[in-house]
Amino acid sequence: MNGGKIVVGVSGGVDSSVTALLLRDAGADVIGVFMQNWADDDSGDCRAEDDRRDAVAVCGKLGLPIRFRDFSREYWDGVFQHFLSEYAVGRTPNPDVLCNREIKFKHFLDAAHELGAGSIATGHYARVDCVDGRYRLLRAKDRSKDQSYFLHQLGQRQLAATRFPLGELYKDEVRKIATEHGLATAEKKDSTGICFIGERDFREFLSRYLPAKTGEIRAPDGDRIGEHPGVFYFTLGQREGLNIGGVRGRPQAPWFVVGKDIERNILYVDQGHDSSWLQSTTLRSEPAHWIAGQPHAKRFTCTAQTRYRQPEEACEVEVQDDGCLQVAFSRPQRAVTPGQSLVLYDGDVCLGGAIILSTDAPLAGQANARNNAA
């Protein structure tokens, strides 16, 4: 295997384009690989062909060979089926975390080895270093773009074989480099949202796989507020899509989702962005993944994020005998959501993380018991 050969995941975006450019200019033997992770569903909303053309154009401009790999079956089996099963029991999954673990740093890494490469590189905003023989995942220099949250499931094998050239750069620097080198992706808009849904309506997409079942919307006191099209279409803290007009006896203020009872098909809402019904101070997680291979202690303090781009919060972590985490925050947290990822940090160092199972939010106990049993 050629340790000097690097396979770059070229997605057709500016970040992966500049990643390939920087490695080429550093003297690496670079091969671009375009991954197709979602089969075209004839909806007209898939951007894969446009992205493929842009990836080819960039590699052509840089004088780099490009290969193509179809991981759509692996994505369906390893990511999308989990996505559906989580929504079906009322949790809100984060497919980007699973995609990184199962596709980009597993099947893609294997494909790179098959091409004779010793390492891979992606356009993620993160950094890797090695201290005393252990690889560490670090936050990016550009904290506003830091993507270590989505990479917390990586381990020693993956980090040892991965390069993140953008980790030391700010986004505006990346676009400037792309412009200076005449790359077609220099001004291309960043992709947002869930990759396989694209720009289409989320509820319409999900209804193809999880048929709608209407039910009641209630306030925490039990009053009927309205009707929902399907309880699993909503997540904690959500405001959009509730279609609640004026309610007699209630103030004219926005409503937010504060709880879900899947078994009874009830969606609970309350008024106020910081409703007390959305607040929690503790959570329990599934067994955690540790980037170092194991936790450094059974009980420790650190900071954590329970969603992407959330400010990190101080907490105390206790590792249970089964590997699950019991976490207590120093102050109440808003809309901590089962199915999302808890990611732990020590300064800039990402320690690892786990899927959130339950919280002590006021409406969580009853629903968590039912949903976890499902």
* Half-sphere exposure (Cβ direction) of 121: Cα atoms closer than 13 Å: 27
Backbone angles phi, psi at 76, to 5 degrees: -60, -50
Of 282, 316, 281, nearest in space to 300 by CA: 316
Query: Is 165 buried (19+), middle (13-18) or exposed (0-12) by CB count in 10 A?
Result: buried
* Dihedral of alpha carbons 108, 109, 111, 116, sign: positive
Rg over CA atoms, the chain? 22
195: annotated active-site residue = yes
Question: What is each CA distance from 17 to 9, 59, 62, 220, 340, in whole angstroms?
Answer: 9, 8, 9, 50, 30
Beta-bridge partners for 137: 128, 350
Question: What are the angstrom distances between the C-alpha of 238 and each of 86, 246, 259?
Answer: 17, 18, 10
Is 11 within 8 Å of 55 (Cβ atoms)?
A: yes
Q: Which helix (H) or strand (E) holds 282?
A: strand 279-285
Are residues 275 and 221 in contact, defined by beta-carbon separation less than 8 angstroms? Answer: no
Residue 99 annotated to the active site = yes
Among 46, 59, 99, 350, the active-site one is: 99
Q: 46, 59, 195, 315: which is the annotated catalytic residue?
A: 195
Rounded Cα distance between 23 and 62, Å, is 11
Please state, in angstroms and rounded to a whole number, the distance separating the CA atoms of residues 108 and 222.
50
Positions marked active-site: 99, 195
